[in-house]
Structure 1
Amino acid sequence: MEFPLRINKYLAETGISTRRGADVLIAKGIVFVNGKKATIGQMVAKTDNVEVRTSKQAAPTEYTYIAYHKPAGELTFGGSEETERDLLMRLEKEYKVTGLTPVGRLEKANAGLILLTNDGRVTRKLFAAEAEFDREYLVTVDKRMFGAVYAQLERGMKIEREKTKPAKVERIDSKTFRFTIQEGKKHQVKRMLAACGYQIMKLVRLRVATVSLGKMKPGQFRVLKGAELTEFLEALSIK
């Protein structure tokens, strides 16, 4: 991500919303930059703290960090009670958890680890252009994977004029593998595999930086604390 950039592009690049959806959030007055309400078209610098708050949520007095197992078929963001609930609605309705924002997102069909927090520094650190934090996935594709494809992914490749960093691939069977990247480009795993001629049949995010999905079942969450939280914040150089 190259700074400065428009705030709607920032929210899209970090997986919080689409550009059009970001403008709607800004118009609702729930997007804040450095504690002040954002405006449509506003430019965001690398050092700015960007937050999306619920309509009546005040600035946080303390930070909360949650690991959530998103089930396949659930929206990360942008649902409504009239059509389809998203994970934020589920957390509020079932667990009374409010005031947190997903750090990035997973497509509706995909499952696995989503981090949520009210600490805007986490999103900024994980999606910085120079960031090198692991994102590990368990992927199943539509046909047999060959050694030449693994090698191409591990070298890094061009996808739509962007060059990806080298990935790590660990084969499990002919169609399933662990796939680790160190970037947060939009739909990156899907785009890399599509460029190699493959379609994803199943994708589960297993880990972000030092935080793993662990034994959580779909729909469950845990609050990061103790040694797990300390290790995560230290990895991101957040004090």
Structure 2
Amino acid sequence: MSAGRETPRLAKLVCRLALCSRREADEWIENGWVSVDGKVVARLGARAHPNARIEIHPLASQHRSEAITIVFNQAQPTPAADELDERVLPGEIIRADNHWSEDRALRRFAPTHLRGLALAGKLAPDECGMLVFTQDGNTARQLVGRSSRWEKEYHVRFVGELDDQGLDRLQHGLTVDGIRLTRVQVSRLSEQQLRFVVHDNGRRQIQQMCELLALPLCEIKRVRIGSVPLGKLPPGKWRYLRRDERF
């Protein structure tokens, strides 16, 4: 058996000793609050012998670990949903160099903010706009799926013409293969742009509705989830969810 397998990660031993989360253990190590056999170890990923003397600085118990949530503006093209889960790791698109300079959350980026960060709500390959990454499992569960109670707002650009009769059909629901689509809120933003408000577009309902009206789409952009807007966040940039914001 290799030495790496014989010696567990220090963070795991800290979790057992202090009954804390892995994220908290990583933060304590990174802040220099953990020592092994009298020597401070501040390197994430460090290993320690199970019988080593591990001490945790009193400051660690006063430190309140807060789950991080991040809003990212995905520019087109968006990877396919399954590719986004399997191929793109949060650390590949959430980096210090593309953190929005006008972020008002007043947080400083730290590697621990990527620990356990998960995508909460995919975009289809032909969609762009707002993505949410979070360390908070409860937030993730509330944002994902048809049972989500949070509204998702999309701005849709199309080519061609849509008369009032067509808009009325979009507003009052359509039928696909004998199944009536869920009714959604639809309104005009301009002659070539519509606003859709849904609870879930996981089955591409917006696209299906527009296809039924032979309405070619050139952009589908998610601009809001719940009460949190994408706002002025530029494409390819991200920001922290502020403490005063709630979905």
| Short-chain TM bin | 0.5 to 0.7
Q: Which residue of 2 aligns with 1:144?
A: 161
Matches within 5 A, 1:23-102: 62-75=66-79, 78=83, 89-92=92-95, 94=97, 98=114, 99-102=116-119
1:188 aligns with 2:205: yes
Which residues of structure 2 form unaligned runs of 5+?
Answer: 1-44, 46-64, 99-110
Aligned equivalents of 1:94 and 1:78: distance in 2? 23
TM-aligned CA deviation for residue 93 of structure 1: 7.8
Which residues of structure 1 form unaligned runs of 5+?
Answer: 1-55, 233-239
Aligned equivalents of 1:65 and 1:142: distance in 2? 36
1:156 aligns with 2:173: yes
Aligned equivalents of 1:195 and 1:206: distance in 2? 24
Matches within 5 A, 1:110-189: 110-127=127-144, 129-160=146-177, 162-189=179-206
Q: Which residue of 2 aligns with 1:104?
A: 121
CA contact (8 A) 1:74 1:108 kept: yes
TM-aligned CA deviation for residue 67 of structure 1: 0.9
Q: Deviations over 1:160-204 (max 9, x none)?
A: 554333222221332212121233432221122112222211111
Aligned equivalents of 1:164 and 1:132: distance in 2? 18
Aligned equivalents of 1:77 and 1:129: distance in 2? 18
Aligned equivalents of 1:119 and 1:206: distance in 2? 21
1:128–1:219 CA distance, 2 compared to 1 (3 A): closer
Which residue identity lines up with residue 167 of structure 2 in the other structure?
A: Y
RMSD of equivalent CA atoms: 3.0
- TM-score (ref. length: structure 1): 0.60
SS in 2 for 1:105: coil
TM-aligned CA deviation for residue 79 of structure 1: 5.8
Aligned equivalents of 1:87 and 1:146: distance in 2? 42
Aligned equivalents of 1:162 and 1:124: distance in 2? 27
1:145–1:135 CA distance, 2 compared to 1 (3 A): same
CA contact (8 A) 2:90 2:117 kept: no
1:165–1:72 CA distance, 2 compared to 1 (3 A): same
SS in 1 for 2:83: coil
Aligned equivalents of 1:153 and 1:226: distance in 2? 37
Aligned equivalents of 1:93 and 1:227: distance in 2? 23
SS in 1 for 2:92: helix
Q: Deviations over 1:126-164 (max 9, x none)?
A: 345444422111111121112122112211223355433
Which residue identity lines up with residue 162 of structure 2 in the other structure?
A: M
CA contact (8 A) 1:135 1:180 kept: yes
Aligned sequence identity (%): 21
1:180–1:89 CA distance, 2 compared to 1 (3 A): same
SS in 1 for 2:150: coil
Which residue identity lines up with residue 185 of structure 1 in the other structure?
A: G
